[in-house]
Structure 1
Amino acid sequence: MVSVENKDKKWWEKEVIYQIYPKSFKDSNNDGIGDIQGIQEKLPYLKELGITTIWICPIFTSPMVDNGYDISDFEGINPEFGTMADFDHLLKKANQVGIKVILDLVINHTSDEHPWFQAALKDKESPYRAYYIFKEGKTEPNNWRSIFGGSVWEKLPNEDMYYFHAFDKKQPDLNWENKALRQELYGMINRWLEKGIAGFRIDSITFIKKDQDFASLPADGVDGLASCKSKTRNRPGIEIFLNELKKETFEKYNCVTVGEAPGVPYEEYGDFIGDDGYFSMIFDFNYSDIDVESGSDWFKRTNWTTKEFKEKLKRSQEVLQKNGWGANFIENHDQPRAVSKFIKPDYQTDEAAKAIGMLYFFLRGTPFIYQAQELGMQNAERKTIDQFNDISSIDNYYRSIQEGFTPEEAMTFVNQRSRDNTRTPFPWDDSQYGGFSKTTPWLEMTEENPSRNAQQNQVLNHYKQMIELRQFGVVSEVLTNGTITFLENVPDNVIAYKRTLNEVEVYCYTNLSETQEMISLEGENIQILLNSHDDLPSEANELALHPYQSILVKKINEVSDNGN
């Protein structure tokens, strides 16, 4: 257990967190599926990279309909990942090398194979029926569409009764209005914290409160349904649940809590991450979802510009700085690869991968790295829908066709946005299956014999330098604790910000475009700390940034350099 007395209360501000998708990280027993022992085997790699905390996606007992986000036992380990003894050993070994462990906390829903739900199905008088949301009727209670497509309602086979699921039909939502259910969840959370984990990333937490009128909405698609988000996400009254959750669990420990909190307006960020906020930090999806109008409707693409992205990033950082602390990311298990998403096809190089990494890594907040992001990984192009495992990809493919797009267009949307893009097995070397496994992996590799892998990888070396700079470099304090200010006197295609602490100033400039851009340094003396490219052309007081080039520079204070 992390001791409150022996640790800084905000220790997580100094962390570099690495997200592991266990099914795809390292297969230790050659069954084609990554596992807990595989994670333990690669702790030296993570330590050398500079990681201080790992976030492991769900390893709990699950039928794996949504790859572990459908939990049938909150306190059991899914056999394909190993045993609880394996996890205990991983936790011990990670702590020995100075790496903390946080887990996913999925408490909006369970699997339909969870004993609670099974008991609710078998007996309409069971107290467990109140643990879920059931509505009586001969037709669906309303026209809400689930996040993964189709109605949020699933009929029971032998009753005029429906149960609610905001996500897949095999993920019934828990009824947070029920106090007994909430107490069960709090007990489970506390037992994991007593075991010694450092905290949680909390999945879909803004969905736990539903509008109790369950009223239908104007249809927003040809299916006659309407997105359930406006009635099920961050609704009035959720603050009661979230305050109780914190009081009954998190605040008893010096743990970190990272909320996946889509749908929270900026004016409410103080409630979520302020001094008395529900969580240590939250992810902000306002800038990460710039390529689509809706994170769950991939066929609604946008023609975003760097200027628009810069404004969203600036607004996000200003709000986070005003209210608390942010969790900075460019990739995760629900997003495509950043190189493919943010960089034009002709420029998807190692240098561009370094630049997009620098752009976000030195923002104010705790940086998150998703597995193999540090290799400059790109999206995998699939030819048929049968090659996809992700249920959201399959839903979006058929919904796109339903909305009038051709199968070819639908495949393009899915390839661009599929969650399988970041779920492909980790390429450790250039052997068949990339050293991930000696047998055919559960999901097709990006390349069967990966040319991009963890051996001799210049993007990986660059990430090591970024981490070293933030954690131990001469500007470590300013990169961790400094304020952030976005610069206005730069071209539209350049994203630039300044980190300041006391009199130390560090600047990050990124050209997020296909054209060379000039930036003026106004005669100031600078020291280049990091450069995504091998060169940096200069003319008088101007620097020429190559397409997709990023530099980190420190302003040199001449007075202090003279020893005065």
Structure 2
Amino acid sequence: MPQWWKEEIVYQIYPKSFQDSNHDGIGDIQGIIQKLDYLKDLGVTMLWICPIYCSPMDDNGYDIADYYQIHPDFGSMEDVDELIVKAKERDIKIIMDLVINHTSDEHAWFQEALKNPDSPYRQYYIFKEGQDNQPPTNWRSVFSGSVWEKVPHEDNMYYFHSFSKKQPDLNWENPQMREDIYRMINWWLDKGIAGFRVDAINFIKKDQSWQNGPVDGADGLSSCFEFTRNQPGIEVFFKELREKTFDIHHCMTVAEAVGVPYDQLSIFIGQDGCFSMMFDFNYSHIDITEHEEWFPLQNWTMQEYKEKLFLSQKEIFKTGWCGTFLENHDMQRSLNRLIRNPQERTPKAAKALGQMFMFLKGTPFIYQGEEIGTINNHRLSIHDFDDLNSHAQYRRALQEGYSEEEALDFVNRRSRDNTRSPMSWNSQLYAGFSDVQPWLTNNEYYQDINVAKQVNDPDSVLSYYKQMIALRQNPLYHQTLVYGDFISLESEEYVIAYMRQDDQQTILCIQNLQNKETHFPLSSKAQVLLSNDQVNIQNQQLKLSPYQATILLIE
């Protein structure tokens, strides 16, 4: 079976913030349809649509109340059908977000489970009795506080949630629940979507011993990760999930699976793995702790980042395939994460970061706004944040003894609102996203960083992204840039250099991620394929200006 998904260029859309078509300040499906020609012109071949299902929006749609209905803020199922058809007319495929570790507490299954302890739906979730007037375990949820929430009107009964208390975890030990989930997955695939990005999928197996963990915070709790993520036996669920859904439709799947040890990759990807590919967060999460806390600041170096990036490329492709990315809806902007000096977060630097990631081995995923070099907002108060996890991290930082000023700084650096603010289409009021006040404040730099300002500028970040995509898709280089080996090269700390190589040719990718000139040795003649600055080669030395990124075909 051809693994067609290796050749895609994916663009991630956060629908609430992409384009508002009906003047309510909230992005919607018709807004995406309006921008399909923009996406076609960019060169992408697939869209990943973040959740648009019926939801109370406690976690912006990752708390699903009905998998078969569309939230009215986004439109209707007819709009989804139209999106699939009109995208296909432009040779663009659609993948949806699949959230099956948990539902909303407003899902009919959970509501029935609460109403009737004898209902079969009680077994669709995880309910346990407390111990000594305490919750069953001392585990801390991902969004802070206990993973256990007291069940109203019942003595000593709790339900389990890895994330928000409004996101109760499904009980994957229950075969009937699994069958209902598989039915829903196949229903969506039958509609004509190309597959799924699969949310938090490595949480579906829990440690069934339900033991307390070592206290690791001032709140007296223990991180749940050791008991809820990447647990032995998850591969049994994965095998059944794949056989009963994904394999039937030959679809594309990409797993969000944080913290997977490289020696466990084979249950996720490769011949026996459940998914077409996965995201590797081992290098992208270099700025946060192993328990995904945004505090204290992590004093990582570019050398450490480079080593983690190269190790990821080495280990992933021993087993299977990955999706490569700079940004997503759960992170801050990459210019802020990877370039510490605010004065150096320039269009040239954005091109260098984009090139560094675009030509790695794997299927590239571009996040909305990344292609124009968007940078973080700076918010003055915790009350300016919408993101559930930003408020949770702020509270945790205060509990751990940080000041309000320090806690706010942590949140400003890492908040998920940084990538969720509305897309900047032009310099008009509300950035062309809407003609009314948006649900979340526009990016404060939208008058300088927007699509309209860049679309006809051959030197813009947007134009460079188009050139990078065109180069990857160029028949002369496509085979090498998609399927060729990844070979890391030794260089000074702030230069990230690697080759893509097959039997036909060698392509050298060099990025100077610092604000000073340097040189890179070349062992043979080279032809320039792409560069964000004038290329200067003398005496077999490539002179690199600050933040220069260059791609060479080695002759």
Residue number in structure 2 paired with 1:379: 376
Residue number in structure 2 paired with 1:141: 136
Residue number in structure 2 paired with 1:3: none
Contact 2:141–2:162 under 8 Å retained in 1: yes
Cα shift at 1:448: 7.7
Residue number in structure 2 paired with 1:462: 464
Residue number in structure 1 paired with 2:457: none
Per-residue Cα deviation, 1:203-246 (whole angstroms, up to 9, x for no partner): 00000000011100111111110110010001011000000000
Residue number in structure 2 paired with 1:476: 478
Contact 1:321–1:483 under 8 Å retained in 2: no
Contact 1:152–1:165 under 8 Å retained in 2: yes
Cα shift at 1:449: 5.3
Cα shift at 1:295: 5.9
Cα shift at 1:71: 0.1
Residue number in structure 2 paired with 1:266: 262
Cα shift at 1:494: 1.2
Give the secondary-structure state (helix, strand or coil) at the position aligned to 2:430: helix
Uncovered stretches (5+) of structure 2, i.e. residues with no partner: 455-459
Per-residue Cα deviation, 1:53-105 (whole angstroms, up to 9, x for no partner): 00000000000000000000011100000000111111111111110000000
Cα shift at 1:492: 2.3
TM-score relative to the length of structure 1: 0.95
Distance verdict in 2 for CA 1:473–1:454, change over 3 Å: farther
Query: How far apart in 2 are the matches of 1:449 and 1:366?
Result: 29
Residue number in structure 1 paired with 2:433: 436
Distance verdict in 2 for CA 1:362–1:448, change over 3 Å: closer
Residue number in structure 2 paired with 1:326: 322
Query: How far apart in 2 are the matches of 1:493 and 1:317?
Result: 18
Query: How far apart in 1 are the matches of 2:315 and 2:388?
Result: 33
Query: How far apart in 1 are the matches of 2:291 and 2:209?
Result: 25
Residue number in structure 1 paired with 2:115: 122
Distance verdict in 2 for CA 1:261–1:449, change over 3 Å: closer
Query: How far apart in 2 are the matches of 1:49 and 1:157?
Result: 51
Give the secondary-structure state (helix, strand or coil) at the position aligned to 2:91: coil
Cα shift at 1:339: 0.8
Cα shift at 1:549: 2.0
Residue number in structure 1 paired with 2:401: 404
Query: How far apart in 1 are the matches of 2:163 and 2:353?
Result: 32
Residue number in structure 1 paired with 2:449: 452
Following superposition of structure 1 onto structure 2, how do residues 79-118 of structure 1 map, counting pairs within 5 Å?
79-118=72-111
Cα shift at 1:271: 2.5
Query: How far apart in 2 are the matches of 1:448 and 1:274?
Result: 42
Give the secondary-structure state (helix, strand or coil) at the position aligned to 1:163: strand
Cα shift at 1:510: 1.1
Cα shift at 1:473: 5.2
Cα shift at 1:517: 2.2
Query: How far apart in 1 are the matches of 2:252 and 2:445?
Result: 37
Contact 2:522–2:541 under 8 Å retained in 1: yes
Give the secondary-structure state (helix, strand or coil) at the position aligned to 2:393: helix
Cα shift at 1:447: 2.3
Per-residue Cα deviation, 1:272-300 (whole angstroms, up to 9, x for no partner): 11112110000000000111223621013
TM-score relative to the length of structure 2: 0.97
CA RMSD of aligned residues (A): 1.1
Per-residue Cα deviation, 1:470-492 (whole angstroms, up to 9, x for no partner): 0125312211111111012x222
Per-residue Cα deviation, 1:528-559 (whole angstroms, up to 9, x for no partner): 111123x2344422122223221111112xxx
Contact 2:10–2:45 under 8 Å retained in 1: yes
Percent identity at matched positions? 53
Pair 1:64 & 2:62 matched: no
Following superposition of structure 1 onto structure 2, how do residues 27-426 of structure 1 map, counting pairs within 5 Å?
27-137=20-130, 138-159=133-154, 160-294=156-290, 296-343=292-339, 344-426=341-423
Cα shift at 1:254: 1.6
Give the secondary-structure state (helix, strand or coil) at the position aligned to 1:75: strand
Per-residue Cα deviation, 1:162-211 (whole angstroms, up to 9, x for no partner): 00000000000000000100000000000100110000000000000000
What amino acid sits opposite 1:475 in the alignment? Answer: Y
Contact 1:13–1:480 under 8 Å retained in 2: yes
Query: How far apart in 1 are the matches of 2:275 and 2:478?
Result: 25
Contact 2:225–2:291 under 8 Å retained in 1: no
Query: How far apart in 2 are the matches of 1:195 and 1:428?
Result: 31
Query: How far apart in 2 are the matches of 1:275 and 1:545?
Result: 41
Query: How far apart in 1 are the matches of 2:539 and 2:474?
Result: 33
Q: Which moved more, 1:547-556 or 1:180-189?
A: 547-556
Query: How far apart in 2 are the matches of 1:97 and 1:492?
Result: 42
Pair 1:546 & 2:548 matched: no
Per-residue Cα deviation, 1:441-476 (whole angstroms, up to 9, x for no partner): 000011285321001320000000000000125312
Q: Which runs of 4+ in 1 moved over 4 A?
A: none
What amino acid sits opposite 2:169 in the alignment? Answer: D
Query: How far apart in 2 are the matches of 1:551 and 1:473?
Result: 20
Give the secondary-structure state (helix, strand or coil) at the position aligned to 2:237: helix
Contact 2:517–2:546 under 8 Å retained in 1: yes
Cα shift at 1:420: 0.3
Contact 1:9–1:254 under 8 Å retained in 2: no
Query: How far apart in 2 are the matches of 1:143 and 1:390?
Result: 25
Per-residue Cα deviation, 1:243-286 (whole angstroms, up to 9, x for no partner): 00001100001210000011211011122111121100000000
What amino acid sits opposite 1:386 in the alignment? Answer: H
Give the secondary-structure state (helix, strand or coil) at the position aligned to 1:351: helix
Contact 1:77–1:83 under 8 Å retained in 2: yes
Residue number in structure 1 paired with 2:496: 495
Give the secondary-structure state (helix, strand or coil) at the position aligned to 1:428: coil
Per-residue Cα deviation, 1:293-335 (whole angstroms, up to 9, x for no partner): 2362101321111111111011000111211111000100001
Pair 1:17 & 2:16 matched: no
Give the secondary-structure state (helix, strand or coil) at the position aligned to 2:272: coil
Per-residue Cα deviation, 1:423-456 (whole angstroms, up to 9, x for no partner): 0000111100011000000000112853210013
What amino acid sits opposite 2:544 in the alignment? Answer: L
Residue number in structure 2 paired with 1:531: 531
Give the secondary-structure state (helix, strand or coil) at the position aligned to 2:487: strand
